[in-house]
Amino acid sequence: MKILHVGYSDTKGGANIAMMRLHHSLIKQKINSKVLVVEKLSDDPNVLGPSKSLELIFNDLKQILVRQKKYFFKNNEIYSHSVNFFRSPILKKINEINPDVVNLHWVNNELLSIEQIGKIQKPIVWTFLDMWPMCGGEHYTNTSFYSDGYDKDNNKKKKSLFDLNSYLWKKKMNSWNNKLINVVCISDWLKKKAQESQLFKNSKIYKINCDIDPNVWKPVDKNTARQILNLPKDKKLFLFVSTNGVNDLRKGFKFIDNSLKTILKQRNDFELIIIGRNKGIENKPYKFKVIDNISGQNTNELRLLYSACDILLAPSLMEAFGQVASEASSCGTPTVAFDDTGLADIIVHKKNGYLSKYLDQDDYTKGIEWLLSNIETENVVDNCLKIFNEKFSNFSISKKYIEIYKSLKNKN
């Protein structure tokens, strides 16, 4: 059985890292797995990248052009958008490789055009890593999906301008309407969104969490980790992880900021560690440290970081899954997050973390305070490791994919 994974990169970004983890897990189970990307940065022989320098130049040019899209979108401006307007050589390569099943992952940054996705001739499994496949151009949205894709009440402003979101949604409907796409959502939250969407409500939709190898992700002694990272041993350390730093509104940093200001009134024996871009970080009444040189594929550095910290703070407004929470849990570090997001697939309330009421500032603060008071008495660290191993051990994730692949190969 020959499986071809298609994604933008083999190392950059959480979605692409999730793809590579699944690929490596399949290889270990003797599955013929290949990965097709437009940005190859590793030396993995099973990863196929651009064969000509002209492809790289053309891809860079496409990205420059589509960055102008910000002038056309009318709603939901705070979230990322992708157009997938330009054709690419990827479709031809898929046909030349001739796999039994094509597993699409994160296909944005003009990896494939919307029309090309509809022209893939092989059975398709599409792993949804955000909401883009079911939306117009948005990667996340609160907009309702009606017959034309959008709730008109949310689109009152700028009526005279061209609505690119609606245009892209209709293009997806026209290009994929008769295409059998088997959807894998990485959380119950995302699966519910897909089932509610007009584009995929009639598709076969599975829920399979992101793959993470328990033989690789293990805790490091906390004091040792802090010593290596030069972090204080006498403070409670909170961790916030966001590639775009505190300015990514979807990641909900304002809830952390408000909670820590409240907690500071009672105690000051803590420090916030921020992983991501350092732009927009202003002076805070509490102590914080920004680390902007840790990459998502550096497992050893991340294990040290998770192990060194006491609590991961992940108040995302919308989150498809939240790999940082599963990685933190593998190192014995609990998470405070909002319920009704993909993080609910990882966190068991008051066991390996705290699920606050959705967008409830007071309850989010309460969650941090509860963990500070109960992390030792309620065996929270042990629960993190136990629940992580129950969810991610014995190749359980990749085995579910193999079952889907086999069923599609037999039908084909």
Residue 161 lies in a domain: yes
Same domain, 388 and 405: no
Q: Would you say 383 and 360 are in contact if contact means Cβ atoms under 8 Å apart?
A: no
Tens of pLDDT, residues 204-221: 999 999 988 888 899 999
Q: What is the pLDDT of residue 361?
A: 98
Instruction: Give the predicted TM-score (pTM) of the model.
Output: 0.90
327 vs 396, more confident: 327
Check whether 77 has a pLDDT greater than 70.
no
Q: Is 271 within the bounds of a domain?
A: yes
Same domain, 388 and 400: no
Same-domain pairing of 238 and 372: yes
- How confident is the model at residue 164, as a pLDDT? 82
- The answer on 334 and 387 residing in a single domain is yes
Mean pLDDT, rounded, for 362-371? 98
Q: Which domain holds residue 291?
A: 222-392
Q: What DSSP assignment string belongs to 285-339? A: SSEEEEE----TT-HHHHHHHHHH-SEEEE--SS-S--HHHHHHHHTT--EEEES
Task: Identify whether the C-beta of residue 298 lies closer than 8 Å to the C-beta of residue 400.
Answer: no
What single letter denotes the amino acid at residue 321? F
Q: Are residues 42 and 181 in the same domain?
A: yes
In a domain, 51, yes or no: yes
Which residues are bridge partners to 263 per DSSP?
none
Q: What is the CATH number of the domain that holds 353?
A: 3.40.50.2000
Residue 372 domain-assigned (yes or no): yes
The share of the chain scoring above pLDDT 90, in percent, equals 67
- Per-residue pLDDT tens digits for 233-268: 999 999 999 988 898 889 999 999 999 999 999 999
Do 164 and 183 belong together in one domain? yes
Are 237 and 360 contained in the same domain? yes
As a whole number of angstroms, the distance between CA 373 and CA 380 comes to 11
Q: Is 46 helix (H, G, I), strand (E, B) or coil?
A: coil
In angstroms, the CA 393 to CA 94 distance is 32
Cα dist from 115 to 43, 60, 195, whole Å: 31, 20, 22
Whose tokens are 């295409």? That residue is 179
Examine the domain organization and report whether 167 and 315 are in the same domain.
no
Contacts of 127 (CB under 8 A, 6+ apart): 18, 19, 22, 103, 104, 105, 184, 186, 208
Domain total in the chain: 2
